[in-house]
């Protein structure tokens, strides 16, 4: 069977389904292809959404365990794992079936199956349902096939007991002990889930600190709490061998000094980063150029084949859902021949641990590395009225300014709700705010949003709630 479409989209994650809905909304005929039953991709089925649901659940456990400070005493929690798993699956099902309904309403043809290129204008679709293969010719194709776990290089990651984030999110059981390899976003988020549910969690991180991309002062409050929640955190250490043993996995660690140690765990979760998912796309049948970062694209996200575009994790930039959806806007505008701004550099990052760590724009460590002169102003949440009323005093809001022009260059926040609050930082950076602008905006009292204003006031030497030396 063979048919044609104006826009074929490979992969229905936040990059692919956003592109599909936008293009269909502009009157283009769109075919969206994905192996899952509905649009959603990694983010909804096996990533952002199920992990945030489970983090919320363990957040409730943490909140109730801290409530005794307020004189509120709860019985020790009883965890019904089957119900928790079912609830998480319901959240995923609600959202993905909702997207399936949206696709229909918008006239997008959704095909459950996998696609690969036969040539620069034709896709071969292998339907998931066992129906016969079909060919689709396209005017434009958007590659939005996302990424896959990269695993620990040089080791067999397919051993029994060694799992990735997909298996961890399936929540088959709660292992007695869990080694998390990688102290990045997935490692700390899923490590927090399992520690909250009762596993003894150890994290091993190759670099000198958790969340290596974030500024150290933002990570410190989180690291301190994780030290209490986790059984162990091994820094400057790599996993040099994995061996399946009775009841689990024996792991060999090698420290910076070359010293080796061994320990057994019920399970090992590998969270050492992801790689572009492009190996099975038949790109060799096209003139699309690829590289270590995925598909080589220009500033409009066009590949080296004129009618083939790429969005999301397989293009340069952070592997984040909101970056992928922004890419989709740019590509659809480009296909429609609209002049549009090139890619945005202001992409916020959030780690959804308790406390959350969020940042946007320039970090202090990047500034140091690149020799950019900056001045940071911090407002500790211990000085926030709202922070005390909600028992969230260990956070910090940090604004990074150009010391000469006093323009805002970056924002970092650690604390409960940092992921929501950082949106104010994104807006301020997009609008080109100065320290005076940041301080002049009236925020409601008492809220954590006031910490943005207070940090700007610290920079200007006129903080009301936190005494910082006057700036000269
Ligand atoms: P990551 O890049 O965030 O973290 C991987 C960590 O593993 C790094 O700290 C790295 O130094 C460490 N590492 C690498 N090899 C190692 C080894 N052999 N031994 C020990 N440590 C090792 O990657 P991730 O956590 O796997 O996440 C994958 C992608 O998905 C990332 O781009 C991430 O940003 C994204 N993601 C984002 C969120 C979020 O936005 N909250 C959540 C989950 C995943």
The structural domains of the chain, with segments of one domain joined by +, span 2-147+275-335, 162-272, 355-460
State yes or no: pLDDT of 344 exceeds 80. Answer: no
pLDDT of residue 225: 97
Taking CA atoms, 432 is separated from 236, 280, 426, 428, in Å, by 38, 43, 10, 6
Distance CA 466, CA 472 (A): 17
List of residues 6+ apart from 182 with CB closer than 8 A: 203, 204, 205, 206, 270, 271, 272, 273
Mean pLDDT, the chain, as a whole number?
96
Report the CATH fold assignment for 2-147+275-335.
FAD/NAD(P)-binding domain (3.50.50)
CA-closest residue to ligand 1 atom 26: 273
The answer to whether residues 347 and 324 touch, using CB atoms and an 8 Å cutoff, is no
Distance CA 325, CA 13 (A): 9
Fold match between domain 2-147+275-335 and domain 162-272: yes
Angle between helices 14-25 and 81-105 (to 10 degrees): 30
Distance CA 407, CA 451 (A): 18
Distance CA 221, CA 404 (A): 30
Structure token pair of residue 246: 């009775």
Q: Is 56 a catalytic residue?
A: no
Distance CA 386, CA 219 (A): 21
pTM above 0.85, yes or no: yes
> pLDDT over 70 for what percent of the chain?
98
Report the CATH fold assignment for 355-460.
Enolase-like; domain 1 (3.30.390)
Atom of ligand 1 nearest to the CA of 185: 25
Domain 162-272 sits in CATH 3.30.200.20: no
Tell me if 214 CB under 6 Å of ligand 1: no
Tell me if 114 CB under 6 Å of ligand 1: no
List of residues 6+ apart from 36 with CB closer than 8 A: 12, 45, 96, 112
Taking CA atoms, 304 is separated from 116, 277, 370, in Å, by 17, 18, 31
Tell me if 324 CB under 6 Å of ligand 1: no
Q: Kindly compute the dihedral angle of the four CA atoms of residues 450, 454, 456, 457, in this order, to the nearest 10 degrees.
A: 140
Strands in 232-234's sheet, in edge-to-edge order, are 162-163, 267-270, 177-181, 200-204, 232-234
pLDDT of residue 342: 63
pLDDT of residue 444: 97
Distance CA 195, CA 184 (A): 16
Atom of ligand 1 nearest to the CA of 313: 32
**Predicted confidence band of residue 341 (pLDDT cuts 50, 70, 90):** low
């Amino acid at each position: 069977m063979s048919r044609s479409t104006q826009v074929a989209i490979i992969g229905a994650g936040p990059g692919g389904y956003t592109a599909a809905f936008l293009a269909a909304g502009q009157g283009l005929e769109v075919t969206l292809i994905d192996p899952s039953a509905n649009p959603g991709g990694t983010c909804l089925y096996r990533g952002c959404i199920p992990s945030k649901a489970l983090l919320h659940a363990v957040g409730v456990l943490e909140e109730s365990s801290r409530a005794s400070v307020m004189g509120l005493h709860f019985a020790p929690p009883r965890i019904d794992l089957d119900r928790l798993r079912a609830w998480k699956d319901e959240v995923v099902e609600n959202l993905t079936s909702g997207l399936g309904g949206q696709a229909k309403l918008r006239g997008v043809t959704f095909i459950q199956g996998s696609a690969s290129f036969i040539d620069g204008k034709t896709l071969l679709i292998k339907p998931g349902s066992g129906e016969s293969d079909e060919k689709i010719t396209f005017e434009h194709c958007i590659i939005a096939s996302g990424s896959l776990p990269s695993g620990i290089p040089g080791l067999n990651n397919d051993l029994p007991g060694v799992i990735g984030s997909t298996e961890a999110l399936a929540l088959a059981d709660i292992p007695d002990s869990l080694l998390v390899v990688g102290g990045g976003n997935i490692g700390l988020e899923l490590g927090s889930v399992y520690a909250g549910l009762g596993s003894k969690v150890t994290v091993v991180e190759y670099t000198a600190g958790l969340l290596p991309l974030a500024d150290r002062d933002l990570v410190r409050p989180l690291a301190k709490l994780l030290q209490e929640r986790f059984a162990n955190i091994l820094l400057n250490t790599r996993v040099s061998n994995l061996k399946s043993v009775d009841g689990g996995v024996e792991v060999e660690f090698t420290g910076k000094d070359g010293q080796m140690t061994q320990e057994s765990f019920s399970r090992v979760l590998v969270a050492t980063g992801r790689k572009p998912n492009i190996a099975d796309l038949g790109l060799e049948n096209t003139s699309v150029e690829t590289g270590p970062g995925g598909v080589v694209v220009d500033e409009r996200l066009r590949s080296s084949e004129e009618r083939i575009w790429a969005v999301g994790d397989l293009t340069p930039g952070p592997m984040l859902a909101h970056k992928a959806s922004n890419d989709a806007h740019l590509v659809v505008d480009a296909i429609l021949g609209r002049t549009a701004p090139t890619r945005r550099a202001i992409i916020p990052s959030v780690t959804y641990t308790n406390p959350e760590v969020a940042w946007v724009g320039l970090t202090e460590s990047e500034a140091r590395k690149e020799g950019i002169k900056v001045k940071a102003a911090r407002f500790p949440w211990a000085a926030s009225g709202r922070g005390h009323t909600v028992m969230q005093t260990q956070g910090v809001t940090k604004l990074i300014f150009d010391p000469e022009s006093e323009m805002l260059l970056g924002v970092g926040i650690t604390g409960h709700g940092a992921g929501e609050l950082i949106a104010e930082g994104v807006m301020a950076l997009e609008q080109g705010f100065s320290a005076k602008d940041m301080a002049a905006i009236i925020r409601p009292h008492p809220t954590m949003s006031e910490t943005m204003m207070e940090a700007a006031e610290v920079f200007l030497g006129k903080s009301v709630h936190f005494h910082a030396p006057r700036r000269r």
